[in-house]
Amino acid sequence: MIEVRNLSKTFGSFSALKDVSLSIEPGELVALLGPSGSGKTTLLRIIAGLECPDAGEVAFEGTSATNLAVRDRQVGFVFQHFALFRHMTVADNISFGLRVRERALRPSKAEIRERVEHLLSMVQLKGLESRYPSQLSGGQRQRVALARALAVEPRVLLLDEPFGALDAQVRKDLRRWLRHLHDDLGITSVFVTHDQEEAMEVADRVVVMDHGRIEQVGSPRDIYDHPVSPFVYRFLGNVNGFPCRSNGGRIHVVGTEMIAPDFAGHGERDVTAFIRPHDFDIEAGSEQANATLRHAVVLGPQVRIEVNLADGQIVEAELARDVFDRLSLHPRQKIRVVPRRAQIFLDDGTQARAQP
Ligand code: ATP
């Protein structure tokens, strides 16, 4: 549906996109995920035709869009900051794109009314058609913006941090709602976010970007389980990093010995072992205690603990509330922290390798 080939873009001497290629299937919901300044918005704007690449091209359904103006690309656009017309009602905002069409393509007034009714019920705003944007909540305004983008029946929907300016609960509700709406409509959609949870929850495929490059493309599960680089691994959630040494593939991490087959053919080398907070087992009353509990925070069904290892390193771990209660953990308690071998991710500075 959308083919992006070898796109590059510089602003002055700054290289915002470096040789980016990406293929998006019809009906997919794709997230562009990355830290601030990684080039997500620039890529989205080039797809929309709002920005011109220095090199490379964008094609829709196999046809180059290079010479297509924004209005001819048939894309719907939703921005982070509610770009609604303040002096227009909800209904007029939604129907705007239809009303400004040239006469031959413009639907009749009755057709427009019907379309607006339909869109209002789709975005669950029935009854609010006569309100002005100032009389709506942030979440309602973003739904109006979405209805307005959908009114012209675009072939592609592009969303730039659509929920970025909303508070946490509304954001959560809206992203679930967007996923359902997408499933109902099946419209090819690309959205920008810097929130990994949002990308993982909503998207079919996630494109992880850093410094103007695509680091990895894959399903949420794929990139979480098989990150191709330490950057991707770290960006997808909290991690603890442990500098250690591999000796012919034999590595000691947090008092646990493990074998890294990838390093078996090499002699001694420095590696970093990354372990996520929920990939530790915690034991209390063990003769082999290797840590002291510093601090615990209950996060609903999970508890996050901070522990001091015997060598002074601080580790963040997470465990289920019932396990925490069963072990009667308390600050200054001696405990044993054991990483789950299968979940350790190793990096030797050249290439990262996940352990089976
Ligand atoms: P954010 O999440 O902060 O929006 P992003 O990943 O979407 O970040 P872009 O907005 O694509 O990043 O910007 C990439 C880089 O290009 C940034 O460093 C930004 O400052 C720069 N940039 C973007 N647009 C322009 C512009 N019109 N002129 C100069 N520099 C720009």
Q: What is the DSSP string of 260-284?
A: -GGGTTS-EEEEEEEE-GGGEEEEE
For domain 240-354, give the fold: OB fold (Dihydrolipoamide Acetyltransferase, E2P) (2.40.50)
Checking 176-182 for CB contacts under 8 A at 24+ apart, the result is 176/201, 177/124, 178/146, 178/202, 179/29, 181/122, 181/123, 181/146, 182/29
32 pocket-lining for ligand 1 (C-beta < 6 Å) = no
Distance (Å) from CA 244 to ligand 1 centroid: 37
Q: What is the mean pLDDT of residues 5-14?
A: 95
Distance (Å) from CA 21 to ligand 1 centroid: 18
Q: Which residue has the higher pLDDT, 100 or 241?
A: 241
Q: Which residue has the higher pLDDT, 148 or 164?
A: 148
Asked if residue 256 has pLDDT above 60, the reply is yes
Question: Which atom from ligand 1 is nearest to the alpha carbon of 38?
Answer: 6
Asked if residue 287 has pLDDT above 50, the reply is yes
Asked if residue 342 has pLDDT above 80, the reply is no
Q: Which residue has the higher pLDDT, 342 or 129?
A: 129
- Give the per-residue pLDDT at 196: 92
What element of type H or E holds 314? strand 314-320
Please report, in angstroms and rounded to a whole number, the separation of the first and last CA atoms in the chain. Answer: 35
With a CB cutoff of 8 Å and minimum separation 6, the contacts of 234 are 274
List the strands of the sheet with 345-347, edge to edge: 256-259, 250-253, 240-247, 268-275, 345-347, 352-354
The band of 352, judged by pLDDT with boundaries at 50, 70 and 90, is: low
Token pair recorded at residue 155: 């072939």
13 pocket-lining for ligand 1 (C-beta < 6 Å) = no
- Give the per-residue pLDDT at 309: 93
Distance (Å) from CA 72 to ligand 1 centroid: 25
Question: Which atom from ligand 1 is nearest to the alpha carbon of 51?
Answer: 27
For 184-216, what is each residue's pLDDT tens digit? 889 999 999 999 999 999 999 999 999 999 999
36 pocket-lining for ligand 1 (C-beta < 6 Å) = yes
> Which class does domain 2-235 fall in?
alpha beta
By the 10 Å C-beta count (0-12 exposed, 13-18 middle, 19+ buried), 155 is classed as middle
Distance (Å) from CA 113 to ligand 1 centroid: 39
Q: Which residue has the higher pLDDT, 190 or 174?
A: 190
Q: What is the mean pLDDT of residues 115-128?
A: 89
- Give the per-residue pLDDT at 14: 93
Token pair recorded at residue 55: 């090199």
Q: What is the mean pLDDT of residues 25-30?
A: 95
290 pocket-lining for ligand 1 (C-beta < 6 Å) = no
Q: Are 187 and 28 in contact (CB under 8 A)?
A: no
Domain range summary for the chain, segments of one domain joined by +: 2-235, 240-354
- What is the chain's length? 356
Residue 123 vs residues 43, 120, 263: alpha-carbon distances, Å: 27, 5, 53
pTM of the prediction? 0.85
Q: Are 98 and 107 in contact (CB under 8 A)?
A: yes
Tally helices (H) and strands (E) across the chain: 9, 21
- Give the per-residue pLDDT at 157: 92
Q: Are 44 and 78 in contact (CB under 8 A)?
A: no
Asked if residue 266 has pLDDT above 70, the reply is yes
Asked if residue 354 has pLDDT above 70, the reply is no
Asked if residue 73 has pLDDT above 90, the reply is no
- Give the per-residue pLDDT at 353: 60
For 300-321, what is each residue's pLDDT tens digit? 899 999 999 988 899 999 999 9
Average pLDDT score over the chain: 89
- Give the per-residue pLDDT at 71: 79
- Give the per-residue pLDDT at 350: 67
With a CB cutoff of 8 Å and minimum separation 6, the contacts of 202 are 29, 31, 175, 178, 179, 191
The band of 356, judged by pLDDT with boundaries at 50, 70 and 90, is: very low
